[in-house]
Amino acid sequence: MTATSAALTPPADAIPPVRHPEAPAPGELLGAHYAYCFGCGGGQPHGLHLEARAGEGVTVTAEFTVTADHQGAPGLAHGGVLATALDETLGSLNWLLRVIAVTGRLETDFVRPVPVGTVLHLAAEVTAVHGRKIFSTAVGRIGGPEGPVAVRADALFVEVKVDHFIDNGRPEEIQAAMSDPDQVRRARAFEVNP
């Protein structure tokens, strides 16, 4: 296990996170922000199909099942897939703050192997906010929400405007998302880190 880098340590004048009054209620399934998101979207046949729920305060829980499509070594989850699951879960926290933010830094510790067929139980929380910076942490467990730790991460998210996606995304996908007649889906497509 490694120590968290200085970039992920909130400064002394950081403030505690405040859940937005219009955030999803504790226990509410957050759903996919975008159908083609590799982490949470149902439109990705080999994606994680991660399901996150709002928790108390500024916390979320999530689960995903490691399939054969997610393996690196035979029968074991690929480390990059596990990092993606942590990143997706951490990104979901921003829905509770009601901000658009992207991953600025993600440090991951791989504690134990995660076999194919395992349900990874993830829990994440925002620990501090400093201007546009959002500091958060997550842990992934196997065998249940109280099971042994398999992976953990600390992250720094940076609040951005929707222009970040419009200016940098592939025009076909941006136009398709912005042309969606469903106003909620159109807005949610840009709510979580890319």
Q: What values do phi and psi take at 84, rounded to 5?
A: -65, -40
pLDDT in tens, 90-141: 999 999 999 989 999 999 999 999 999 999 999 999 999 999 999 999 999 9
Note the pLDDT of residue 32: 87
Tell me the mean pLDDT in the region 166-193.
65
Please give the Cα distance from 89 to 53 (Å, whole number).
Answer: 9
Q: What values do phi and psi take at 147, rounded to 5?
A: -70, 180
Q: Residue 175, SS3?
A: helix
184 pLDDT above the threshold of 90: no
Q: Is 141 exposed, middle or buried (0-12, 13-18, 19+ CB in 10 A)?
A: buried
Note the pLDDT of residue 193: 44
Please give the Cα distance from 21 to 97 (Å, whole number).
Answer: 9
Note the pLDDT of residue 34: 80
CA separation, residue 133 to residues 1, 130, 157, 158 (Å): 25, 5, 6, 5
Mean pLDDT of the chain: 89
Residue 122: partners with Cβ closer than 8 Å, 6 or more residues away: 50, 52, 61, 62, 63, 64, 85, 86, 89, 138, 139, 140, 141
Please give the Cα distance from 27 to 78 (Å, whole number).
Answer: 29
Identify the residue with better confidence: 16 or 190: 16
Tell me the mean pLDDT in the region 61-70.
96
Helix, strand, coil % in the chain, rounded to nearest 5: 25, 30, 45
Place of tokens 């419009």: 166
Closest CA to 55 of 95, 94, 28, 75: 28
Helix or strand holding residue 141 (H, E): strand 133-142
